[in-house]
Structure 1
Amino acid sequence: MGNAALGEMVRPRPAVEERLTRPQRLVRQLSDLDSGRLRRLIRSGDLAPCFDAADDERAVECPICFYFYPSLNRSKCCGKGICTECFLQLMPSKASKAVHCPFCKTATYAVEYRGTRTTSEKKLQQEEEQNVSETKTRIRAQGSENR
């Protein structure tokens, strides 16, 4: 039951181990990190757990730290993946300004956690990346022809 809006299916979130609610590989100490808030965001499913790095073929790579994880957070602006620990390090401290998306440079950077991507979502992303690659190649070829 629950509060599903207009037939939207609500998936129950699996319980998250306590150790996965604490960052493990931070490069710099975050003096203003609110551990309680981070724990609540992870447990509620709004942020991905601080997973252990994976060697699994189903794992996805964080483009910032290059570790592989079972799943990643997604940028709200462009949908690119990022692990929770890299996201925490990108976020501004209380004294700094807002952060731009490291991928598409959108002015306000925010992420959401959607859980593990389905096979069709992975296939769609591969197709999009292939189209971008082909377009770049075509543009380079046209540029060299015009010289």
Structure 2
Amino acid sequence: MGNVAAALGERQRPAVEERLTRPRRLLRELHDVDSARLRRLIRSGHLAPCFDAAAEDDDAATSVECPICFDFYPSLNRSKCCGKGICTECFLQLIPSTTTKAVHCPFCKTASYAVEYRSDRTISEKKLEQEEEQNVKAQMRIHPKTQNAGELIQP
């Protein structure tokens, strides 16, 4: 009976298809990426699967855009420092090779960039993100792009 209760209390992760554990759109060869380790990280839920990318947002309620490649996915990894989303394949291209130094977050420039996968966004997270996008669009209307850089500097 204890095993049943423990099993029900654990978060059940859906099985990840084998094809979603292999990157397919990488721009550079990743010689130092251990494919077995990558597969384990995806299957254990530490990294998002390498979902099939969609060029257009067919369903805004279930897809989110990667700010690096601009493709849409069911869910993204989140930066541990600032919470911004990034797809697994873009993250793999940002991680350091054995010959380079640590990578900074592409969004907030925090050192030692790392991500976590929290599965699909909650409804409140989606709503907050939509509100942020609307605020940015409103700010763009208030401050049109036609302003010169010199006009932005106060004497």
State the TM bucket, normalised to the shorter chain: 0.7 to 0.9
- Structure possessing the higher radius of gyration over alpha carbons: 2
1:16-35 maps to which residues of 2 (within 5 A)? Answer: 16-35=16-35
Q: State TM-score, norm by structure 2.
A: 0.79
The percentage of counterpart residues that share the same residue type is: 73
Please give the alpha-carbon distance, in whole angstroms, between the structure 1 residues aligned to 2:109 and 2:10.
32
Please give the alpha-carbon distance, in whole angstroms, between the structure 2 residues aligned to 1:98 and 1:25.
23
Q: Deviations over 1:14-72 (max 9, x none)?
A: 00000000001000110111000000000000000000013531211111111110000
Q: State the partner residue of 1:48.
A: 48
User: Secondary structure of the equivalent of 1:126?
Assistant: helix
Q: State the partner residue of 2:107.
A: 103
Q: Which of 66, 73, 76 is the equivalent residue of 1:69?
A: 73
- Shift in Å, 1:131: 5.0
- Shift in Å, 1:78: 0.4
Q: CA RMSD in A?
A: 2.7
Q: Which of 71, 83, 86 is the equivalent residue of 2:87?
A: 83
Q: Which amino acid aligns with 1:19?
A: R
Question: Which shows bigger deviation, 117-126 or 64-73?
Answer: 117-126
- Residue correspondences, number: 140
Please give the alpha-carbon distance, in whole angstroms, between the structure 1 residues aligned to 2:119 and 2:6.
19
Q: Deviations over 1:79-118 (max 9, x none)?
A: 0000000000000001100000000000110000000112
- Shift in Å, 1:73: 0.2
Question: Which shows bigger deviation, 49-58 or 27-36?
Answer: 49-58
1:119-134 maps to which residues of 2 (within 5 A)? Answer: 119-131=123-135
Distance 1:2 1:90, change over 3 A: farther
Q: State the partner residue of 2:116.
A: 112
Unpaired stretches in structure 1, ≥5 consecutive residues: 4-8
User: Secondary structure of the equivalent of 2:104?
Assistant: coil
- Shift in Å, 1:75: 0.3
Q: State TM-score, norm by structure 1.
A: 0.83
Please give the alpha-carbon distance, in whole angstroms, between the structure 2 residues aligned to 1:38 and 1:101.
20
